[in-house]
Structure 1
Amino acid sequence: MSGKPIPAIYSVYILRSSVRHASLYIGSTPHPPRRLKQHNGEVQGGANRTSRANLRPWEMVTLVTGFPSMVAALQFEWALNNPHVTTHIPDDSRISKVTSRKKSGQPKRPAKGLASILANIHLLLRVPSFSRWPLKLHFFTQDVFVSWQKKWADADTQPSSRDLEIVTDFGPIAKPGDGVAGPPPAFPGSSQAGRNRKAKEDAWGVYALALDYKPLKQYVTKTKDIFDFERQGHCVVCEDLMTPEAGIYVVCPNESCEGVGHIDCWSNHVLSTSLRRGKAVQEGGNILPMTGTCPSCKGQVEWGHMMKELSLRLRGPDEIEKLLRTRGGKTDAVREEENPATDQSDSE
């Protein structure tokens, strides 16, 4: 796993039966739409607990994304499924308590409802184990979001150990209890390409999530160009000359900036310029950067975003080739070599 790039997405999700709202399920996946279809029996897979026909269809009501690896997501999933015993939650902060034990003497998992799950999500997003990860909380049904807002809205606007990003997508009709994110309807009489394009435009909820590296395409194109032509120059932090392929170099993600620096220099700089709600804060004792400013363009940078590009550059050549491949099956660089742009002064 260490030889693979940071996944485009890995998520922990809350599943709810649209027939019986008290039936809930917690899981993790790198592909929420496919996983939802598995739980609903549309494709092979899914869990036994969600296979009962009288509880289908299931809906993904809440999703936590931004995990740096599958292991990280599994850690969060386990903690959310076992909040009564997980070591990620200190005893004095624990919400779910052990009230009974199995015959084996092991603690019995307390019954969970939507309110307790949301409360434990709120808690886990703020404990030291997870508070510095660049996690996002998604809501796809309005009633669940309203439940969150009633309990936690004030807490989310107060300065804390994390600035929680909340994303909502209730679809074209936002009614409490609506099923979540079904595929758009078919469009008879149009071409397959047209149907695919229309489906993409109309997609919402889990079907509108970015499941690949396309959001990084512009960033990846820029960094590839910098290192292919050895334009890394001097470190933007320590100003030492950076020898090609002699170190691990990180690039500013801002579009118009080509600031490059050593990974340790960038790390120390982002820690020293940490931002929370757009304001500089002191980050004493932390070793994992989160959000800071670029020493070159002074724009805001997110460490997790930079590390995803770096891991893709170092560990994902196949993914990069696929990302940069054009409709004709060739990368942008190859097409440019085969069809060089004509300089206007030569043509005249």
Structure 2
Amino acid sequence: MGPLGGAVRPGRFFGVYLLYCLNPRHRGRVYVGFTVNPARRVQQHNGGRKKGGAWRTSGRGPWEMVLLVHGFPSAVAALRFEWAWQHPGASRRLAHVGRRVRGEAAFAFHLRVLAAMLRAPPWARLPLTLRWLCPDFCRDLCPPPPPHMPLAFGPLPASRARKDDGEPATDRGSQDQCTLCALALQDEEGPLRCPHPGCVLRAHVICLAEEFLQAEPGQLVPLEGQCPRCKNSLLWGDLLSLCQMGSKEDNDDSDFEEGHWTDLLEM
């Protein structure tokens, strides 16, 4: 089980997005949602409820997906983030965030809430990426995201097959074993690999997390660590992102609609 609930499956994509309404009659409205497939999800919102869109966005389009937060370790972690972003006044972790003030645009308010969330536990230690999908909407967050959370711009890169860069032939016999515990690696576990050329590290997520957390006892999610094989510094978020991009598994799950899991996910 992951530290925030739910099985950690680094080969899957879980994201929370911000929509902006371009309809002149409703311009400025925003919507926060969860998705496993951003491109499909925005099409559903613009297609209305009959196409799988949410009732709050139906008939008010077109909508633009302008911002995406991704890198969550599980669907439950992403859904909790979504719920708190939608209901900051009801989340005990965001009690320090003031309400939307008079004259404050909904878009600006949601960015203010997001900035506070990325600096608050438990989200502050997650390997998240903040991706601006539309450059015209890009704004600096105040306070900025933690240093281990990178900013990205443009659409998500297409999935690409994993490749072994300069991997010595003598080490290929151990590809099916975890470098750290020597136990078998299962395909569905999404073994982590060191991205540095020539390094043959392949490890279970849990094994490498425990290795990194030796320097931070008491924490549940690592931020960075040293590769046990090549000794290069690695960011935990980068390792999970590489694993996600290398996965050949299709994300064909249906998205969760708003209001689902409210009682379960309340923080």
Normalised by the length of structure 2, the TM-score is: 0.70
Q: Give the structure 2 partner of residue 5 of structure 1.
A: 9
Amino acid at match of 2:10: I
For 1:288 and 1:244, the matched residues in 2 are separated by 23
Amino acid at match of 2:46: N
Q: Given the alignment, which residue of 30, 44, 57 partners 2:51? A: 44
Q: Give the structure 2 partner of residue 122 of structure 1.
A: 115
Q: Given the alignment, which residue of 259, 279, 288 partners 2:221? A: 288
Q: Give the structure 2 partner of residue 29 of structure 1.
A: 35
Unaligned runs of 5+ in 1: 98-110, 170-207, 274-282, 321-348
Q: Which has the higher contact order (CA 8 A, sep 6+)?
A: 2
The structural deviation recorded for 1:88 is 2.9
SS in structure 1 of the partner of residue 33 of structure 2: strand
In the alignment, is the contact (CA less than 8 A) between 2:201 and 2:229 conserved in 1?
Answer: yes
Q: Given the alignment, which residue of 55, 62, 66 partners 1:57? A: 62
Instruction: Please give the residue correspondences for 1:156-167 in structure 2 after superposition, counting only pairs within 5 Å.
Output: 156=144, 162-167=147-152
Q: Give the structure 2 partner of residue 94 of structure 1.
A: 97
The change in CA–CA distance for 1:8 and 1:226 in structure 2 (over 3 A counts) is farther
Q: Given the alignment, which residue of 195, 215, 218 partners 2:163? A: 218
For 1:309 and 1:128, the matched residues in 2 are separated by 25
The change in CA–CA distance for 1:162 and 1:129 in structure 2 (over 3 A counts) is farther
Normalised by the length of structure 1, the TM-score is: 0.55
The change in CA–CA distance for 1:143 and 1:21 in structure 2 (over 3 A counts) is farther
Q: Give the structure 2 partner of residue 174 of structure 1.
A: none
The change in CA–CA distance for 1:39 and 1:78 in structure 2 (over 3 A counts) is same
In the alignment, is the contact (CA less than 8 A) between 1:312 and 1:319 conserved in 2?
Answer: no
Q: Give the structure 2 partner of residue 256 of structure 1.
A: 198
The structural deviation recorded for 1:116 is 0.9
In the alignment, is the contact (CA less than 8 A) between 1:216 and 1:309 conserved in 2?
Answer: no
Instruction: Please give the residue correspondences for 1:237-248 in structure 2 after superposition, counting only pairs within 5 Å.
Output: 242=182
Whether 1:230 and 2:230 are equivalent positions in the alignment is no
For 1:294 and 1:137, the matched residues in 2 are separated by 25
The structural deviation recorded for 1:86 is 1.0
**Alpha carbon RMSD of aligned pairs, Å?**
4.0
SS in structure 2 of the partner of residue 33 of structure 1: helix
- Between the two proteins, the alignment pairs up a number of residues equal to 235
In the alignment, is the contact (CA less than 8 A) between 1:131 and 1:162 conserved in 2?
Answer: no
- Please tell me whether Structure 1 or Structure 2 has the larger radius of gyration of its CA atoms: 1
Superimposed CA distance per residue, residues 44-90 of structure 1 (whole angstroms, 9 cap, x where no aligned partner) = 210111111xx32110111111111211111110000000011332x
